[in-house]
Structure 1
C-alpha cells in the first residue's frame, strides 16, 4: 500500500520518494499518530465503563462520581503534561527522541492496564497520561520540520493529511477496542490498545531515515549545572510524594481520593498561575497586556466548552450503556461505538466548513472570529439541553433511541469545528511575541481547566444521574456564548487591532 502512495518528486532530483506529493516522512508520522490516537481513544471508550463495572463483571466497582472524576483528571493531566513535554524537547531531548520515549511509555501503560491488578491499572493510567503529554507536544512539530520552507505550498495540506490520521484512529478505535473490551474481556481491550501503540512505534522507527534532521536538534540545551539542579528538584519532590503516600498506605488511610484531589487542584491552579504569570509580565507593552486581558475571557469560555465536550467518554458513555437502546435498524452494537460518531462527523463536516468560510469570505459575509467562538459555545450548551431531554425521556428505566446521542454528538461536532480552529487562531493572534510558542500550550491548558472543574464537581457530590447536571452546564454555556456575541463590540477593543 505504501508503494502505491509514493512517487518521484518533481521538485527534487527525481530519486526522493514522496507520500501523496508530500515528504516521505509524513507517511510514517501519519501512521504513528493514527495508531497512537487509536490506542488513546480506544482505551478512553472503555475507561469509565470499566471503572463503574462491578467486580462480578470484571470491573473495579467505583461509583459514578469517582469514576467520572478519575476520567476527568486523567484527561486534564494529558493536556497539562504537554507543557513539560514541549519543554523537554526544547531543552533536553529534541522532538524525535521525545516522541519515541513518549510512545514507548504509552505502550507500556496500555499493557499495564491489561494486567488484572488495581495498582497496575492506575500506574498504567499515569504512564499513558505522561507519555501522551510527551508525544502530543512534539509530533506535530515534527510534521512542521518536514517543510523547512515556511512558505512551502504543501505545508497546510500536509497538516490536513496528518489531521485525517487522528480522526481515522479515533473512528476505528471504539469499533474494535470497545467491542473486544465490552464483549470479550476488559483487559483484552486494553491490551489491544497497547498493540495499536506498538504498531505506531514500529512505523515511527521504520521512518527514522525519512524524518527531518531538525527533529533531532535541541533548540536551547541545558547546561550541566542547570540539568543537575532540575534533576535534584524532581527527585526531591518525588521523594516527598513517595514518603507521604507510603505513610498513607501503611497506615491504611490511602484511598483514590488522595490522588484525585491533588491532581484536580493542580489542574485548576497551574493554568491560572500560568495565565497570571504572562499577564503580569512587566516586559509586555500596553497592547500585549490588553490582548492578554481579552484572552483570559476566551480561555474561561474555552474551558467551559471542553469541560462539557470531554464528557463524551464519561457521563455520556455511561448514559449510552445504561439508558440507551444499543440497537438501530436491527443492528445490535456495544455502547462504546457511540464514541466513533465524533471523528466520523469531523471527517464528513470539516471539508464543508472549510469551503463555507471561503465562500462567505468571498461575499464579505463570513462571521467574525468572536461570532464563531460564541456560536460554538452556544452549540455545546444546546447539546446538553438535548441531553437533558434524553435523560428525562429515560426516566423509569426506559431505554431511549440511540438517535438522541447521535444528535448530541452532531451538535457538539459542529460546535467543535466552529470554536476549536478559531481558538487556535485567536491564540496565535493574541499571543505576546515573547510567549509566541508557549501560548499554544496555554490554549491546551483550557482543556485541563475544564476537565478539572468537572472532576471537582464530581468530588463534591454533584449528581450526574439527574437532568439538572446537563441543564445547569448547558445553560451556563449558552449564556456565555450569548454574552460573548452581545458584548463582542466591547471585547474587540481589548484585542489590540486583532480581528
Structure 2
C-alpha cells in the first residue's frame, strides 16, 4: 500500500507520503488493521465455540464458564500490555517487539485451528501474550513518526491509525465469523492466523519506512537488571508449573483454578499501583491530590468496561439463544453482531467530535462526559433487560434489540473512552506518566475481572437473566449520577486540569 502512494525516500518518516502523513503510517495502519482483524475475528467466535455442543464441533462449556473465561481472557490481554510496554522500553525496542509479537499472535491463531482442546488453550495464551506485546508498542511507533507532540499532523495521524482498528474489527466478524460458524470453527480460527500473517508481512516489508527511534531501546537493562529479571521470570514460571502440575496430577484441576486467581489479580494489581504512587515521596502533594481525583475516573471506567466488554460474552449468548438471525429476509450468523460497534464508531465518532467542537465553551467537562458514559452504558443494559423479558418463554426477538443496545453502548463509549485517555495523561505525576497510561488499561482489566467474578458467583441460572442485566445497568446509572453529583469535589482534586 505504501509504495503505491508515494515516491518519497525510504527511511524518511518526516516526509508527507500517506494522506499527507509520514510514509510509515501506512505500514502501521495496515499492521494494526490486520492484527485487529485477527483478534476480533477470533473473539467473535470464542464464546460461540466454547458453548457449542461437541456434536457441532464445540467444547460444550456451560454459558457461565464460557462468559467468565471470555472476560478473564479479555482482561489478561490488557493486563499484559504493561509488561509488553516494558519489553519495548527496556529489552527489544518497539520495532523488534512488534515483529516478535506478530509472530507469536499468528502462531496462537494457528494453534486454535488445531482440533485439539489442549492446543486451543495454549493458542489463547499465545494470542494474549502477543497482543500485550504489540498493543503497547505499535502506538508508540505512530508517535515516533512525528516531530514531537506539537507536530500539527500528529492527532490526524492517530485518527487514521485508529480508523484501521475499526476497519479490521468491522470486517472480521463478517468474514471469520461466517466461515467459523457456517463452515468449520477451526477454519475460522485459521483465517485469523492468515490475517495476522498478512499484517506481519506488511510490517516486515514496510519497516524501513519507520522512524529510527522505533529501533532504539529507550532505557536498556543493565547486565545485573537483565539477570535479575530473568531469575524472577524463571522462578515465576517454575512456581506456576509446579502448582498447576500438582493440581493436574492429583486430578483436582478445573478451569476455575485459572479463572479465579487471574480475576482476583486483575482487581488487586491496580490497587497496588495506586498504593505505590501514594507512598512515593518523590510525588508532590499536588500530584498526589490529582491522583486522588484520578481514582474516581478509574473506578468509573472499570464499571463502564465491566458492561461494555460483555458484548462478546453474555450478549453473544443472547444473540445465539434468543435472537432471530433473520432481518429483512437476510439470514446471517450471530457473530455478525460484533461488527456493529466498529461500524457505529466509524459513523458517529466524527459526529460526536463535531458536536463537542460546535458547543465551544459549553462543551461538557470531563466529569460530565464520564457521567454521560456511565448512564449511557447502564441504559444499554436496561434495554437488554427488556429484550430478555421479551425473549421469555423461548421466543426469539428481533435483531433490532441488539442493534439498539450496541448503538447506545457506542455513543456511551465515545463520551467516555477518548476523554479517559486524555485525563490519564493530564493527571499523571511526572515520574509515572507512562505507568498511569498503563493504569488506564488496567481499568479495562479490573472491569472484566469484576464481570468474571460476578458470573462465577451468581451461576448459570442468573447470568444473562433479566435480573442480571437490570442489576448491572442500575449500578452503572447510579454510578453515573453519583459522579455527576460529586463532580465539584473531583474537579477540586484535579487542580489546574480541566
The count of residues paired between Structure 1 and Structure 2 equals 494
Q: How much has 1:29 moved relative to structure 2?
A: 0.5
Aligned to 2:395: 398
Answer yes or no: is the 8 Å Cα contact 1:111–1:190 preserved in 2.
yes
Aligned to 1:6: 6
RMSD across aligned positions (CA): 1.5
Q: Map 1:32-71; keep pairs closer than 5 Å.
A: 32-71=31-70
Aligned to 2:326: 327
Provide the C-alpha distance between the structure 1 equivalents of 2:451 and 2:123, rounded to a whole number of angstroms: 22
Q: Does residue 106 of structure 2 align to residue 124 of structure 1?
A: no
The secondary structure found in structure 1 opposite 2:458 is coil
Q: Map 1:312-351; keep pairs closer than 5 Å.
A: 312-351=311-350
Answer yes or no: is the 8 Å Cα contact 1:95–1:216 preserved in 2.
yes
Q: How much has 1:148 moved relative to structure 2?
A: 2.9
Deviation per residue, 1:366-398 (Å, 9 max, x gap)? 111111110011000000000000000000010
Q: Does residue 407 of structure 2 align to residue 410 of structure 1?
A: yes
Judging changes above 3 Å, is the alpha-carbon distance between structure 1 residues 149 and 291 closer, same or farther for their aligned structure 2 residues?
closer
Q: How much has 1:280 moved relative to structure 2?
A: 2.5
Structure 2 gaps, min length 5: none
Q: How much has 1:150 moved relative to structure 2?
A: 3.0
Q: How much has 1:144 moved relative to structure 2?
A: 0.6
Answer yes or no: is the 8 Å Cα contact 1:357–1:366 preserved in 2.
yes
- Aligned partner of 1:385 among 382, 387, 412: 382
TM-score normalised to the size of structure 1?
0.97
Q: Map 1:382-461; keep pairs closer than 5 Å.
A: 382-461=379-458
Provide the C-alpha distance between the structure 2 equivalents of 1:386 and 1:405, rounded to a whole number of angstroms: 9
Q: How much has 1:329 moved relative to structure 2?
A: 0.7
Q: Map 1:19-30; keep pairs closer than 5 Å.
A: 19-30=18-29
Provide the C-alpha distance between the structure 1 equivalents of 2:45 and 2:387, rounded to a whole number of angstroms: 22
Answer yes or no: is the 8 Å Cα contact 1:374–1:482 preserved in 2.
yes
The secondary structure found in structure 2 opposite 1:221 is coil
Q: Does residue 260 of structure 2 align to residue 264 of structure 1?
A: no
Q: Does residue 272 of structure 2 align to residue 277 of structure 1?
A: no
Answer yes or no: is the 8 Å Cα contact 2:2–2:206 preserved in 1.
no
Q: Does residue 236 of structure 2 align to residue 234 of structure 1?
A: no
The secondary structure found in structure 2 opposite 1:18 is strand
Answer yes or no: is the 8 Å Cα contact 2:57–2:185 preserved in 1.
yes
The secondary structure found in structure 2 opposite 1:255 is coil
Deviation per residue, 1:444-467 (Å, 9 max, x gap)? 000000000011112223421310
Provide the C-alpha distance between the structure 1 equivalents of 2:425 and 2:225, rounded to a whole number of angstroms: 30
Answer yes or no: is the 8 Å Cα contact 1:108–1:127 preserved in 2.
yes
Aligned to 2:306: 307
Answer yes or no: is the 8 Å Cα contact 1:376–1:415 preserved in 2.
yes
Q: How much has 1:6 moved relative to structure 2?
A: 2.9
Answer yes or no: is the 8 Å Cα contact 1:6–1:20 preserved in 2.
no
Answer yes or no: is the 8 Å Cα contact 2:108–2:124 preserved in 1.
yes
Q: Map 1:161-172; keep pairs closer than 5 Å.
A: 161-172=160-171
Aligned to 1:486: 485
Structure 1 gaps, min length 5: none
TM-score normalised to the size of structure 2?
0.97
